[in-house]
């Protein structure tokens, strides 16, 4: 073999295809029973500056404008060298997928409001929901001829143990070894490993990451002496219902509707002490996410009354007011009570703090001015029983810490020297590499594909 790719997610598949197209013999390995990595769990958002779907919609954009938006949103906290490397490849990634039959939602390219917005519509996703499986279907289509022709060999269900300090191959739990001059780690993040997450991110873990995102490649790289990048840049996604049972994953299909431009809030947000901590109608999710990191356990409650439950747009995606009532007292984190003090007691909020905060907010509504946080949308007081509280946790979509790489995507040691023969692409290098301490639309999946293609071409030269 010329190349061993460890991890058959988007970055690994793209790397394997591109290397095979260049004439390399590739072994693509994954611990799961099938390829795809996190794609079955992904919304499949892709972005690029200056590609055919934008031109067809009359949208003027280019790599420099995309870079300006990423730099603004991330406050320059990402790596300029890696970000520009990715951005320059991203239009070609989109054209590659489109040429292979990827069908984008006709309402895209669009500006996504779930995180800080670009100034130009450049995000696309499939017409299907979610879009990750649609991306995977296209990647399968591109991979199949390489497998059929013998250029790529795929082995799933492989548990790898060790790479070694001088990387010349990999070994599995049965002792089988595969040797190659290039080993590519494309194993994804660690958003489904509470211990590693606590160690590296120092935050509570409520996740929507794939169950296979357990940091295997990160551990392999560290065993080979790799350094880390992105430490201290964790930021949570803003809010989700607590998981139920032993599952770490949130119920993402029934997520609270917290984007103010899409649903002007009738509720207030309170922390464990019952205090408000942000303007609920703040249009910037980024500002809300940063404020969330400062409250106890990054946990908050949406508190509202009977009028809000019925006159607001749905508080939770997919729930009617009747569904909300049916969930109260049965679904973890969803509560209803006849009084605010009783509500606080059942929800786990300070029973003195909550009534005081609601009274202060109701006074602001009466006066038309929020003196604490400057909230402008003040539709009604929280004053009509029954009262409701929906518990929200910070949600981990992606992990920000990862293996340090240079612009050739070679893994580096802590002293900056290169570990010969070891490369990495995708979330295993950490989302902070191209997002900094922020979420930039389409800048998780698209860079994984971009770096995979760039590295695959380089390894087949």
Q: Can you give the CATH number for the domain in which 193 is found?
A: 3.50.50.60
Structure tokens at 219: 């551990």
Residues 125-168 pLDDT 10s: 998 767 999 999 999 999 999 999 999 999 999 888 656 666 88
In this structure, the answer to whether residues 356 and 431 fall within a common structural domain is no
> Which of 364, 395, 426 is a domain's end point?
395
**Structure confidence at residue 202 (pLDDT):** 84
Classify each residue of 128-144 as buried b or exposed e, where b means 16 or more C-beta atoms within 10 Å of its C-beta.
eebbbbbbbbbbeebbe
Query: pLDDT confidence of 253, banded at 50, 70, 90?
Result: confident
Of 394, 398, 419, 396, which is closest to residue 408 (Cα–Cα)?
Answer: 419
Phi/psi at 456 (5° precision): -60, -45
In this structure, the answer to whether residues 181 and 250 fall within a common structural domain is no
In this structure, the answer to whether residues 159 and 123 fall within a common structural domain is yes
In this structure, the answer to whether residues 305 and 429 fall within a common structural domain is no
- Residue 275: CB atoms within 10 A of its CB come to 19
Query: pLDDT confidence of 91, banded at 50, 70, 90?
Result: very high
Domain extent for 312: 237-395
CB-based burial label for 99 (10 Å; 0-12, 13-18, 19+): exposed
> Which of 348, 367, 395 is a domain's end point?
395
In angstroms, the Cα distances linking 185 to 169, 234, 294, 310, 415 are 11, 22, 34, 50, 20
**Structure confidence at residue 2 (pLDDT):** 96
Structure tokens at 32: 């799961």
In this structure, the answer to whether residues 285 and 417 fall within a common structural domain is no
Rounded CA gap, 267 and 249, in Å? 25
Rounded CA gap, 319 and 440, in Å? 28
CB-based burial label for 360 (10 Å; 0-12, 13-18, 19+): middle
DSSP state of 426: G
DSSP state of 440: -
In this structure, the answer to whether residues 182 and 324 fall within a common structural domain is no
DSSP state of 127: S
Cβ atoms 382, 357 nearer than 8 A = no
Residue 321 sits in a domain whose CATH number is 3.90.700.10
In this structure, the answer to whether residues 138 and 271 fall within a common structural domain is no
H or E element, residue 311: helix 306-311
Pairing of strands 26-30, 3-6: parallel
Query: pLDDT confidence of 124, banded at 50, 70, 90?
Result: very high
Average pLDDT over residues 421-425: 96
Contacts of 326 (CB under 8 A, 6+ apart): none
Pairing of strands 177-179, 334-337: unpaired
Structure tokens at 123: 């995000």
Cβ atoms 93, 48 nearer than 8 A = yes
Rounded CA gap, 12 and 156, in Å? 13
Kindly tell me the number of DSSP H helices and DSSP E strands found in the chain. Answer: 14, 18
Domain count along the chain: 2
What's the CA angle centered on 435, arms 238 and 57, to 5 degrees? 90
Mean pLDDT of the chain: 95
Query: pLDDT confidence of 56, banded at 50, 70, 90?
Result: very high
Rounded CA gap, 391 and 67, in Å? 36
In this structure, the answer to whether residues 376 and 435 fall within a common structural domain is no
Does residue 249 surpass a pLDDT of 90?
no
H or E element, residue 229: strand 228-229
In this structure, the answer to whether residues 272 and 354 fall within a common structural domain is yes
**Structure confidence at residue 410 (pLDDT):** 98
More confident residue, 80 or 208: 80
> Which of 368, 395, 422 is a domain's end point?
395
In this structure, the answer to whether residues 326 and 368 fall within a common structural domain is yes
Query: pLDDT confidence of 205, banded at 50, 70, 90?
Result: confident
In sequence order, the β-bridge partners of residue 334 are 390
The conformational region for residue 215 under phi > 0 = left, psi -120 to 50 = alpha, else beta, is left
In this structure, the answer to whether residues 386 and 351 fall within a common structural domain is yes
Rounded CA gap, 268 and 250, in Å? 22
In this structure, the answer to whether residues 317 and 224 fall within a common structural domain is no
Percent of the chain surpassing pLDDT 70: 98
Classify each residue of 393-406 as buried b or exposed e, where b means 16 or more C-beta atoms within 10 Å of its C-beta.
bbbbbbbbbbbbbe
Contacts of 318 (CB under 8 A, 6+ apart): 253, 254
Length of the chain: 461
Of 255, 193, 282, 254, which is closest to residue 394 (Cα–Cα)?
Answer: 255
Does residue 245 surpass a pLDDT of 70?
yes
Phi/psi at 218 (5° precision): -60, -45
Average pLDDT over residues 321-326: 97
More confident residue, 152 or 208: 152
- pTM (global) more than 0.85: yes
């Amino acid at each position: 073999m010329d190349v061993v790719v460890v991890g058959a997610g988007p970055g690994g598949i793209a790397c394997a295809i591109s290397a095979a197209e260049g004439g390399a013999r590739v072994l693509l390995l994954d611990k799961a029973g099938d390829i795809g990595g996190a794609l079955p769990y992904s919304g499949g958002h892709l972005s690029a500056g200056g590609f055919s779907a934008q031109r067809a919609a009359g949208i003027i954009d280019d790599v420099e404008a995309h870079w300006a938006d990423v730099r603004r949103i991330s406050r320059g906290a990402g790596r300029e060298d890696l970000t520009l490397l990715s951005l320059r490849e991203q239009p070609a990634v989109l054209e590659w997928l489109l040429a292979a039959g990827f069908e984008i939602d006709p309402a895209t390219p669009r500006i996504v409001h779930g995180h800080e917005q670009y100034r130009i519509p450049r995000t696309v996703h499939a017409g299907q929901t979610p879009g990750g499986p649609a991306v995977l279907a296209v990647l399968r289509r591109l991979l199949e001829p390489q497998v059929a022709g013998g250029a790529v060999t795929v082995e799933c269900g492989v548990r790898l143990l060790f790479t070694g300090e001088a990387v010349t191959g990999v070994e599995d739990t049965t002792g089988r070894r595969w040797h190659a001059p290039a080993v590519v780690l494309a194993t994804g993040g660690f958003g489904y490993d509470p211990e590693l997450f606590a160690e590296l991110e120092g935050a509570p873990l409520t996740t929507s990451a794939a169950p296979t995102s357990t940091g295997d490649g990160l551990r392999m790289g560290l065993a080979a002496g790799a350094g880390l990048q992105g430490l201290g840049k964790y930021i949570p996604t803003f809010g989700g219902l607590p998981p139920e049972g032993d599952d770490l994953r949130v119920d993402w299909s029934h997520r609270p509707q917290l984007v103010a431009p899409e649903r002007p809030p009738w509720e207030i947000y309170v922390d464990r002490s019952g205090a408000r901590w942000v303007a609920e109608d703040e249009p910037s999710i980024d500002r809300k996410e940063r404020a969330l990191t400062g409250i106890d356990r990054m946990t908050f409650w949406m508190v509202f009354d009977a009028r809000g439950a019925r006159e607001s747009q749905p508080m939770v995606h997919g729930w009617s007011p009747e569904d909300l009532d049916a969930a109260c007292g049965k679904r973890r984190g969803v509560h209803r009570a006849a009084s605010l003090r009783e509500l606080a007691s059942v929800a786990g909020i300070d029973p003195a703090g909550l009534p005081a905060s609601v009274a202060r907010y109701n006074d602001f509504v009466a006066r038309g001015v929020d003196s604490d946080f400057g909230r402008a949308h003040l539709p009604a007081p929280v004053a009509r029983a029954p009262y409701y509280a929906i518990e929200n946790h910070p949600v981990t979509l992606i992990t920000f810490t990862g293996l340090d790489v240079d612009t050739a995507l070679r893994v580096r040691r802590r002293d900056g020297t290169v570990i010969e023969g070891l490369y990495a692409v995708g979330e295993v290098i950490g989302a902070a590499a191209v997002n900094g301490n922020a979420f930039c639309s389409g800048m998780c999946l698209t860079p994984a594909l971009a770096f995979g293609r760039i590295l695959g071409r380089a390894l087949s030269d």
